[in-house]
Amino acid sequence: MTILKKINKIVPVLFLLLSGSSAFQQLYAGEIVLEGVYRGENLYVENPYSSTGVGFCVSEVLVNGRTTTDEINSSFFEIDLSIYNFRYGAILKVVLKHRKGCTPRILNPEVLTPESTFKIKSINIDKDGFLNWTTIGEHGSLPFIIEQYRWNKWIRAGSVKGKGTEKINRYRFSIDFHSGVNKFRIKQTGANKKPRYSQSVEFNSNLPEITFVPGNGGKVTSKIYFSGMTRYEIYDYYGKLIKTGTANDVDVRTLKPGTYFLNYDNKTETFIKR
């Protein structure tokens, strides 16, 4: 069975999976752009007829600014990336120019998603409250997710776009501390969808401990008051997240009566909504 016959069988499934894919960036009518890195695989395109019924939708394909010689006058065609002798991990920009009233689809855009290959050379937290890390061996730009260990779980603190080069890359991210010992790490996920992590790094903050009124197990009618600005989460008795944010106080008047779990500062406690 040829590759195009195989594709013809899996098109309906791929349409469902890729219809909302963020890999595509629709710039304006007549052009679709896909960016990523070369990983040794070619791209396949579903190419409908033009809205006039004469000819096919795609009018031109460019790879890194160069017009391809691929045969595009077909319902399905292949963009052969092997002919360019790209090195593995080379940055690619593929542009599909098409006629108005129709939209072609790249069936396997995931083949241009980089793998996570970074190696941490150093990671630390400085006195100014920044997490600093240095990497080598990146093969394509992927976001670094900064995670903080708080309330007995790792939570997202922010993200920084990776530079994607094999040479030394330096990054810096401003972090928010809670009182006591803080722990942070870096996470990155590539084409195989398996996250990779840095080692964790700790910092002992001298911020004062946060308390709240009415206190652990206390009853409240309208508002919870914290002794300082803090990040917080409120869960109901069944573990459903109800509220989250950063504040000095939280309006709980809309909560149903019952017991709730409150994550704040570096603690998990409870309160009763009357």
- Whether the CB-CB separation of 148 and 173 falls below 8 Å is answered with no
pTM for the predicted model, two decimal places: 0.75
Q: Is the pLDDT of residue 26 over 70?
A: no
**Domains plus CATH for the chain?**
3-112 (2.60.120), 119-205 (2.60.40.10), 212-273 (2.60.40.10)
Three-state DSSP at 4 gives helix
Strand partners, 146: 158, 186
Higher pLDDT, 14 or 54: 54
pLDDT per residue as tens digits for the range 127-182: 999 999 999 999 889 999 999 999 999 999 999 999 998 999 999 999 999 999 99
Say what the alpha-carbon torsion angle 170, 175, 177, 183 is, to the nearest 10 degrees: -40
* Residue among 100, 144, 110 at smallest CA distance from 21: 110
Q: How confident is the prediction for the chain on average, in pLDDT?
A: 90
Q: Is the pLDDT of residue 25 over 50?
A: no
> For residues 36 and 112, is the Cβ–Cβ distance under 8 A?
yes
Confidence of residue 34 (pLDDT cuts 50, 70, 90): very high
